[in-house]
Amino acid sequence: MKASAFAYARATSVVNALELLAAYGDKAKVLSGGQSLMPAMNLRLISPEFIVDIGELAELRGIVVKGDVLTVRALTRHVDVLGSPEIATHAPLLRDATSHVAHPAIRNRGTLGGSLAHADPAAELPACMVALGATVIVCGPQGERRIPAQEFFTGIYETALSPQELLVAVELPVAQKDSAHFFHEFARRQGDYAIVGLAAQAIIQGDQFADLRLGFFAVGDRPLLAKAAENLVNVAVTSEVLASASAALSEELDPQEDQQATPAMRRHLAKVLLSRCVATLLSRPDLREGARA
């Protein structure tokens, strides 16, 4: 349980970090909060030769609202997200989701950028990015790239980041009028990665959805923005409508088997989440049992 030997540098600026990454290529790893990287190194699942510690880069910290864009920089720790009034006002979904990430000790160190770059398919925050329509901003030798969240996550622990690039921030649209959100996950223990989870952002007008973005996680190799949501927008939601959305969701899902759940169980739980989400957002307890159909 000791990491193999590695060289270490603490980057002094984003530019310096990019130089180091350019020099060491895929032999290097960025160290942010270390809550995913260090366990993997101690288990010798990975043995990077070079660690670029970005922990001291003040330019990568902070949460800023400008117009209708909320920018959260990469080094923002989970605990900072939980305590941020800007996030509570403009992206409450992210706050709710973050309270489900791990335990206080880990949230004190783990960062938003690290979580997104790590891209665990069972993680909460990537799904929020997809549900919120975030833009991921990365910097590399060729300068800045802006990547829509849906294109950023490409597989299990895989993203559109190249080894020379640094994730520097995400931009989120601030929550609009009439917006509502729902977050829930099924995990065996508080703080565990989810068996299945849902981060949903909606606009509700009257008793209907004007917009609904359903970000499911732990149902495939990356967060899934469910197309089934289309069945529920601008219609009076009845249990039949919900059932058809549920069936559509089931079609879209291709969940994986692991020790916690079979694909069938994941599919079932995703449908339960869909019903609970719709029932909660529309304040329609009658729809809660929809999944039983």
Partner 1 sequence: MTRAPENRDAFSVLDRPNSYIGKTVPRPNLDRLMQGRGQYVSDIELPRMAHVVFLRSPHAHARITGIDGAAAKRMPGVIAVVTGQEIAAVITPWVGVLSHLKGLKSAPQSAIAVDRVCWQGEAVAAIIATSRAAAEDAAEHVAVAYEELDAVTDMQTALDPTTSVIHPALGDNLAFERNHDAGTVDAAFAASDEVVEAEFIFGRHTGVTLEPRSVVADWNAAEARLTIYQGTQAPHMVQNIAALHLGLQESQVRVVCKDVGGSFGIKVHIYADEMATYALSKLLRRPVKFVADRVESFNTDIHARDHRCKGKIGVKRDGTITAFEIDDLTGIGPYSMYPRTSAIEANQVVNLVGGPYATKNYRARARVVFQNKNVMCQYRAVGHPIACSVTESLVDLAAMKIGMDPVEIRRRNLIADDAYPCASPSGLRFEQLSHHAALAKLIKMMDYDALRAEQATLRARNIHRGIGIASFIEVTNPSAAFYGVGGAKISSQDGVALRLDAQGAVVCQTSITEQGQGSESLTAQIVGSVLGVSMDRVRVILGDTDNTPYGGGTWASRGAGIGGEAALQATKVLRRNILDVAAAILQSTPGELDIINNSVVNVSDGAPRIELSELARIVYFRPDTLPPGIQAELMATRHFVPREYPFAFTNGVQASWLEVDTDTGFVKLLKHWVVEDCGTIINPQLVDEQIRGGVVQGLGAALFEKCVYDERGQLTNANMADYLVPMSGEMPDIDVGHVVSPTLESELGAKGAGEAGTAGAAAAVTNAVNDALRPFRTIVTEIPLTPQIILTALGRI
Ligand X SMILES: Cc1cc2nc3c(=O)[nH]c(=O)nc-3n(C[C@H](O)[C@H](O)[C@H](O)COP(=O)(O)OP(=O)(O)OC[C@H]3O[C@@H](n4cnc5c(N)ncnc54)[C@H](O)[C@@H]3O)c2cc1C
CA distance 124 to 269: 16
> What is the rounded CA–CA span in Å between residue 163 and residue 29?
8
- We find the least distance from the C-beta atom of residue 1 to partner 1, in angstroms, to be 4
Binder to partner 1 among 43, 46, 64, 69 (CB under 8 A)?
Answer: 43
Among 195, 202, 224, 274, binds partner 1 (CB under 8 A): 195
Q: Where are the alpha helices (DSSP H) in 65-118?
A: 78-83, 85-90, 92-98, 104-107, 112-118
Q: How far apart are CA 224 and CA 198, in angstroms?
A: 9
User: Collapsing DSSP states into helix, strand and coil, what is residue 202?
Assistant: strand
Question: How many Å separate Cα 119 from the centre of its chain?
Answer: 8
Q: Which of partner 1, ligand X, none is residue 142 near (CB under 5 to 8 Å by kind)?
A: none
**Binding-residue total with partner 1 (CB under 8 A):** 27
The nearest distance, CB 127 to partner 1, in angstroms, is 19
34 binds, among ligand X, partner 1, none (CB under 5 to 8 A by kind): ligand X
* Size of the residue set binding ligand X (CB under 6 A): 32
Tokens of 292: 């039983």
- Residue ranges that bind partner 1, judged by CB under 8 A: 1-5, 43-44, 186, 188-193, 195, 259-262, 264-265, 268-269, 272, 289, 291-292
Query: Which residues contribute to the site for ligand X (CB under 6 A)?
Result: 29-37, 39, 54, 74, 101-102, 106, 110-111, 113-115, 117-118, 120, 123-125, 161, 166-167, 191-193
